[in-house]
Chain A
Amino acid sequence: DVKVTQSSRYLVKRTGEKVFLECVQDMDHENMFWYRQDPGLGLRLIYFSYDVKMKEKGDIPEGYSVSREKKERFSLILESASTNQTSMYLCASSLGTGPGTDTQYFGPGTRLTVL
């Protein structure tokens, strides 16, 4: 079974802090994704990566950056956390079989609160 793990289930940070959310997958998947989930808005794509050191912006990249130094690990970075970044963050990975057809496997999520 594919396993996607996220470093924290719950995180509380202060406004202005630099925040790192870590995601690790164990199935040698090419693609990794960061989504943000908010009530009534569903899931929105922040960034995704299709290879080591490669990244592309999603629909809402402002205020976020990412890092993928190793294939299995994809980090989401909030350079200066703000209260409007309080949300559930979901990481996902996929094999890379083809655009639009790839099944994504999700981690359990990190609920981030910014005070």
Chain B
Amino acid sequence: AQSVTQPDIHITVSEGASLELRCNYSYGATPYLFWYVQSPGQGLQLLLKYFSGDTLVQGIKGFEAEFKRSQSSFNLRKPSVHWSDAAEYFCATGGSSGYALNFGKGTSLLVTP
């Protein structure tokens, strides 16, 4: 079954600093990969997705992610973090149940002044 792993449970960065959140996938063929963000008390919002083609994907809110087959990774990046980026971030891949997604356990981002 396709799965993703997010190695970092918590990440703390200073406002204005760069950010990279890690996601590793487990799948032989090219996976379908997603990054979602969940602000406190809210549902999940799609940041970006990768299906094929250009390995550098641009998303909303200034985020980007790069698909690296050699490292089985799909890391999320942002060059300069804002306090409003504090949230929970989930990596996901197409699930074994067809249309469902398999989510990682999430990375909680704290932004300090």
Q: Spell out A's residues near B (CB within 8 Å).
A: 4, 31, 33, 35, 40-43, 45, 48, 50, 56, 58, 90, 92, 94, 96, 99-109
Contact B100 A58 (CB under 8 A): yes
Contact B94 A43 (CB under 8 A): no
A-contact 0/1 string along B98-113, CB 8 Å cutoff: 1111011110000000
A102 contact set on B, CB distance < 8 A: 99
Contact A43 B90 (CB under 8 A): yes
The CA-CA distance from A92 to B6 in the complex, in Å, is 22
A40 contact set on B, CB distance < 8 A: 9, 105
Contact B105 A108 (CB under 8 A): no
Q: Spell out B's residues near A (CB within 8 Å).
A: 2, 9, 31-32, 34, 36, 41-46, 49, 51, 90, 93-95, 97-101, 103-106
Known contacts A40-B105, A42-B104, A42-B105: does B90 contact A99 (CB below 8 Å)? no
Give 18 A-B contacts (CB < 8 Å), ordered by A residue. Answer: A4-B43, A31-B99, A42-B103, A42-B106, A48-B97, A50-B99, A56-B97, A58-B97, A92-B44, A99-B98, A100-B2, A100-B93, A100-B94, A100-B99, A104-B101, A107-B43, A108-B41, A109-B42
Contact B97 A101 (CB under 8 A): no
Contact A108 B99 (CB under 8 A): no
The CA-CA distance from A87 to B9 in the complex, in Å, is 19
A108 contact set on B, CB distance < 8 A: 41-43
A4 contact set on B, CB distance < 8 A: 43
